[in-house]
Structure 1
Amino acid sequence: MKKILVPLDFSETSDNAFVYALELAKLFKAELVLLHTFDLPIVDSQSMPINYATIYDAIELTNFEHFRDKMPILRTMAEARNAEHVVMNHILMDGDLVFNIKKVVKQEHADFVVMGTRGATGWLDSFIGTNTSSVISDVSVPVLSVPLGAKYTKIETIAFTTRFRQKDIKALEDVVKMAKKLKAKVKCLYVKTPSSDVTDETVKRWESHFEDEDSNQFFVLPSEHVKTTIEDFLVNQQVDMLSMLTYKRNFFVELFTTTTTQKLSQSLKTPILALHE
């Protein structure tokens, strides 16, 4: 982790994500790239007596001034967390947020994204419905999604949800590598439903593959209610970060937007680390 991209929108939510990015930058000796995007209006120049370029210039200037005024606040936040040494570069761009994030990841060689997510409904429901899910689908680097209610504390326990597919192994290896840097434990969770096709031999094979990792634990919990089981696991195991592969986004949608399962409690505010295959 050398460059962390942090999209900002001057909100409390993005400030909260900025704190997580700061702490990771300190630990991994990484730089921060702060990105603010804004939309330009579609103006019918034929129906307006003024030059529409003037409108665009005014909007761009206003956003530049907001960004300029925000930087001293962010630097004060960094000083308060003993992170004043963290290099911070800032970029202001107009246009679509997801498109610009993809562009900046490529041009700045960013290898990690930290962004805030918020919503009026539940924790994972808002996660699915925000720009965050689009970023996770379209951006090629890991994305840490931080809900507003997640107040940074030392990350001591990382949960990794798995279905014991072959492609999960590399993702878990990446999580373990990150956990070592954080000096955190990794708790792998599989919720075994009545229709599960995972055998005991598969679980043992995974345990054997990671037997040299003392901080790893595997949990196979039988349940028909996957969502509720994950919720209980996060609480009972005092999980500070939930990690999983992006191919599970459809898995998210199937589980967390159905009417047959309870809504995830809004009191849960666990950051989600999305990894790519």
Structure 2
Amino acid sequence: MKKIAILTDFSDRSTNAALYALQLARHLGANILLYHTFLVPSAEPLSAQIAWPLEDDDALQKSNEKDLRLQAEQLKKVVSGWPADAFKPAITCSCSAGTATLDLDELLADKALILIVTATHHTGFTALVMGNHLRGVLDNSSLPVMIIPEHAAFTSLQKIAFPTDLSAADLEVLNSLAGLARPFHAEIMLAHISPEGDPAETPVKNFLQDVGNQIDYPNIYYRNIHQNQVKTGLQELETAVGADLLVMVHRNKGFIERLFGGSYTQKLAANPLVPLLIYPYPVPAYPVF
């Protein structure tokens, strides 16, 4: 059975992200794993200078497990109010000491996982993304990561915006994305950001021909975004096209950093205006939604 992992730190933002993911799981026919990591003071560098009783570590573990169970019960209560014929995700929990980045291998070992969902973060966000651990998750995940804005409420997915560089690798992403769009009959808008007066007709034609031949999904269309700056083009996608979901590909070895100078990507991931789905690249295979 497919499974969606929700990274939670019990904040209001994480609670909202969990509610969003729960509705997504309902439509995708996927179960839910609530996943929480916490820092153990006795394992930190300063612990060598401070006497930290091991009993306190145990108490911290039990406290976090209790909070995790409470959040799971809140989600189960929501599910209990759904119509009788609705798919009702099973909700399980996992709690461990460490950080989301360090424990990512353990999480990704679950072959049923198709998606990781997390909330946006801000200064002071503890445990889950302390020290910008969200970036660590993005850099090390082999699964797509969906980042949910603080006040985003799930209604449906009607339009998905996917900025593409027209590469063959984006076809693999699009094939996976079509599976996500299919239960909602959502439109997928392929957007290529290029300077004004430079339509790049031949690459576009070749790419769209490949899309037609390789992607079995009818609701895909193309739009050229005329902007000299990629950053400005992405801002337009966030604000002007009415997308319910923005999709990006996070290429390792600094690809995004070279495009945006690093700062814009961090800003977009921290505070997206719409839910942001980030696919890793390269990976052996993308999930089938």
TM-score bracket, normalised by the shorter chain, equals 0.7 to 0.9
2:231 corresponds in structure 1 to 227
Please state if 1:11 is matched with 2:16. no
- Conservation of the 8 A alpha-carbon contact between 2:248 and 2:277: yes
Unaligned runs of 5+ in 1: 121-126
Deviations 1:80-130 (A, max 9, x none): 45578210111111112112233122146422111111236xxxxxx9x84
For residue 114 of structure 2, what is the aligned residue in structure 1?
Answer: 111
Q: Distance in 1 between matches of 2:48 and 2:135?
A: 35
Whole-angstrom CA distance in 2 between matches of 1:37 and 1:258: 27
Change (3 A) 1:89 1:170: same
Aligned partner of 2:75 in structure 1 is 74
Question: Per the alignment, in what secondary structure is the counterpart of residue 220 of structure 1?
Answer: strand
- Is this contact kept in 1: 2:72–2:91, CA < 8 A? no
1:275 alignment partner, one of 275, 279, 286:
279
- Which residue is equivalent to 1:255? 260
Alpha carbons 2:161, 2:243 under 8 Å: kept: yes
Question: In the superposition, relative to structure 1, how do residues 148 and 209 fare at CA in structure 2: closer, same or farther (>3 Å)?
Answer: same
Deviation of the 1:40 alpha carbon: 0.4
**Cα pair 2:69 2:93 within 8 Å, conserved:** no
Deviation at 1:46, TM superposition (A): 7.6
Contact 2:139 2:252 in 1 (8 A): no
What is the match of residue 192 of structure 1?
194
| SS of aligned partner of 1:118 | coil
Contact 2:3 2:114 in 1 (8 A): yes
User: Of 99, 104, 120, which aligns to 2:102?
Assistant: 99
Cα RMSD after superposing both structures: 3.1
- Check 1:166–1:228 CA distance in 2 against 1; reply closer, same or farther (3 A cut): same
1:196-238 C-alpha deviation (Å, 9 max, x unpaired): 7x83111001222233743111112221132222222332221
Q: Identity across aligned pairs (percent)? A: 23
- CA distance in 2: counterparts of 1:207 and 1:248, whole angstroms: 25
Q: Partner of 2:212: helix, strand, or coil?
A: coil
CA distance 1:44–1:169, shift in 2 (3 Å): closer
Paired amino acid for 1:214: P
Q: Secondary structure at the match of 1:98?
A: coil
Distance 2:169 2:233 in 1: 23
Structure 1 residue 252 displacement after superposition: 4.2
Aligned residues: 263
Following TM superposition, by how much is the alpha carbon of 1:194 offset from its aligned partner in structure 2, in angstroms?
Answer: 7.1
Q: Is the 8 A contact 1:45 1:52 kept in 2?
A: no
Question: Is 1:239 matched up with 2:243?
Answer: yes
1:171 pairs with 149, 170, 173, which one?
A: 173
1:248 to 1:221, Cα distance in 2 relative to 1, 3 A = farther
Say if 1:80 and 1:226 are closer, same or farther in 2 by CA, change over 3 A: farther
Conserved? CA contact 2:189–2:222, under 8 Å: yes
The answer as to 2:91 corresponding to 1:88 is: yes
1:144–1:273: 8 Å Cα contact kept in structure 2?
yes
| CA–CA distance in structure 1, aligned partners of residues 55 and 155 of structure 2 | 46
Whole-angstrom distance in 2 between the partners of 1:149 and 1:256: 28
Question: If the length of structure 2 is used for normalisation, what is the TM-score?
Answer: 0.79
Superposed displacement of residue 157, structure 1: 0.4
Equivalent residue letter for 1:190: H
1:79 deviates by: 3.3
Q: Deviations over 1:14-52 (max 9, x none)?
A: 11111222122111211111111111003647863xx72
Question: Which runs of at least 4 in structure 1 moved beyond 6 Å after TM superposition?
Answer: none
Contact 2:99/2:133 (<8 A) preserved: no
Compare 104-113 and 75-84 and name the one that shifted more.
75-84
